[in-house]
Each structure stands twice: as C-alpha cells, then as structure tokens.
Amino acid sequence: MDIWILFRFALFFALLVLSAFISAAEVAFFSLTRAQIDSLREKNGAAGKTVADLLDRPRRLLVSIYIGNELVNVALAAISTMLALHFFESHGVAIAVGFSTFILLVFGEITPKTFALKYAREYA
C-alpha cells in the first residue's frame, strides 16, 4: 500500500479524534453549573481558573469551538473523499459522503457528547 494512503488513513483517524475532543469540550464546558465553575476555580488551580475564564466569555468560546470543529470536519470529509476516490474510483464521492457523515455523527458528535455530558466536570 502506498505510504500516502497510510498517511491519509492516519490523518483521517487523527481528525476524527480531534473532532470528538472538540465536540465533547463543547458539552462539558456548557453543562457546568455556576457552582461547579466556582469550585473548579477554587480547587483546581491554574486549570480550573482557565476553565472559569473561558466561560466568562461564553460567546467567544462557543464561536471558537464551532469554527475549530467545522475546520476539522471539513478536513476529515476531504481526506475521506480522497481515500474513497482511490479505492472506489467513480463511486468514491457518494461513498465518502455517506461514510464520513455516519462516522462523524456517531464517533465525532453523538458518542463524545454523551460521555462529556455524563462526566462534564472531569472533562472540562
């Protein structure tokens, strides 16, 4: 197998992990109560203060999260399309759209957000 194909597979999975991380961060940050934020600020040192400071400007944080997630998801879709075109030629685009949509929804959005909601304080 060509080294560039292996590189694209690795990049695809790295982008998927990054998408999952960003999606989970969104839910973790915005599901914290004011009491949890204050507790983080007091008990978790610099990391807790950083979380609290980020949540002091929620619009800026949310826009940053959305932009980052969209950039990652577009890059993932592009890599998925390149891989699908390599393996499936003329049907590659249709396969890539279906495959990347399913993978992103399940592993890049729904699953990480579910875990982040359950463990919001730990994740934030």
Tell whether 100 is covered by a domain: yes
Note the pTM of the prediction, 2 decimals.
0.89
* Average pLDDT, 10 consecutive residues per value, the chain (124 residues): 93 98 95 88 84 91 97 97 94 95 96 92 79
Q: Note the pLDDT of residue 37.
A: 87
Asked if residue 15 is part of any domain, the answer here is yes
So what's the pLDDT on residue 12? 98
- 45-83 burial, b for 16+ CB within 10 Å, e for fewer? eeebeebbebbeeeeebeeebeebbeebbebbbbbbbbb
70 in any annotated domain:
yes
52 in a structural domain = no
Residue 113 structural domain: 3-29+58-123
- Number of domains present in the structure of the chain: 1
Ramachandran category for residue 65: left, alpha or beta (phi over 0 → left; psi -120 to 50 → alpha): alpha
**Looking at residue 43, what is its pLDDT?**
82
83 part of a folded domain: yes
pLDDT at 26: 95
What are the pLDDT digits (tens) for 75-86? 999 999 999 999
**pLDDT score for 39:** 86
